[in-house]
Chains A and B, each alone.
Chain A
Amino acid sequence: MTATVKYDEVEVGTTLPAQTFQVQRANLIQYCGASGDFNIIHWNERVAKSVGLPNVIAHGMFTMAEAGRVVTDWAGDPGAVVEYGVRFSSPVVVADDDKGATLEVSGTVAEKLDGNRVAVDLDARVGDAKVLAKARAVVQLA
């Protein structure tokens, strides 16, 4: 585990480079296959609407994976992420158009922990909606 970021160079409030992810239907289909999660609400608009959803929604785990990239790209070594948890607070609705949903993710060091670890809080939004809550990763720094 060799994160390129040094614990001593990080303070509470240090911000991670923000990233924007475009989420389209094709991404969800591909994620169905790679994850094995074929829940019909992630690919069938007719069924998604029939069970009360506004449209097809992204897998929560897909959103979590995208948000996690802000942390793994910053840390330098994805293996430095020792803990990662989120609450899915609002669905990422993915319409059948050329744009889909635009997911914006930023991160801030919230706490310095023992053993050269830090807690990073993530903010993930689509428009005004906060799609992840209590999104926190613990990262082992150098």
Chain B
Amino acid sequence: MPINRDFIGREYVATETYEVSRELIRRFADAIGDPNPAYRDIEAAKALGHPDVIAPPTFLTVLGFRFGGTGPMSDPSLGLNYSLVVHGEQRFVHHRPVRAGDVLKIVSSVADIRDAGKNELMTTKMQITTTEGEAVADAYSTIVSRGTAAAAQEGAQEGANA
């Protein structure tokens, strides 16, 4: 079933905030197997000019899942079958590094939904700021819904991305 195009342009403001802690950063760095001291050792981070430990460049992906319950993906009328979804593209623009102690809020929007052969692509933008309004990063994500384009033959699903 194709994704509901009515969602294009919709904006979602998360009502809750996300508090970045040293332990969350450490857990993420452990999960990607990265021993970089800037993610764990306050003195090492300070030596690089940061006020506290910083997060890896892809850490903000956690916000998408933390706030997924209030975003477009949580709405059944979007018509997305999550087991058919793979990640197509991702881009982060960092205005400054994320660091422990940050209290972040996000505004998500559906930038585009379109066909790509048998698949569909859906692009969302997540603007991340502190609660004081300081711009931290913008994250652009494109997911691939495999074999759900209107033109696709039923049951034919190939050309998967990662």
Which residue of the partner chain, among A31, A52, A73, A85, contacts B160 with CB atoms under 8 Å?
Answer: A52
- A32, chain B: closest CB distance, angstroms: 9
Closest A residue to B39 by CB, please name it.
A78
Chain A contact residues, majority secondary structure? mixed
- A60 on interface, CB distance cutoff 8 Å: yes
Interface residues on A, range: 35 or more
Q: B62 contacts A58, CB within 8 Å? A: no
**A71 cross-chain contacts in B, Cβ below 8 A:** 57
Q: A88 contacts B88, CB within 8 Å? A: yes
Contact flag A1-B28 (CB < 8 Å), given A73-B36, A85-B89: no
List B residues 136-159 near A (Cβ within 8 Å). Answer: 140, 146-147, 157-158
Closest A residue to B26 by CB, please name it.
A34
Q: A88 contacts B162, CB within 8 Å? A: yes
Q: A79 contacts B97, CB within 8 Å? A: yes
Contact flag A1-B49 (CB < 8 Å), given A34-B28, A35-B31, A39-B85: yes
**A76 cross-chain contacts in B, Cβ below 8 A:** 48
**A89 cross-chain contacts in B, Cβ below 8 A:** 161-162
- B61 on interface, CB distance cutoff 8 Å: yes
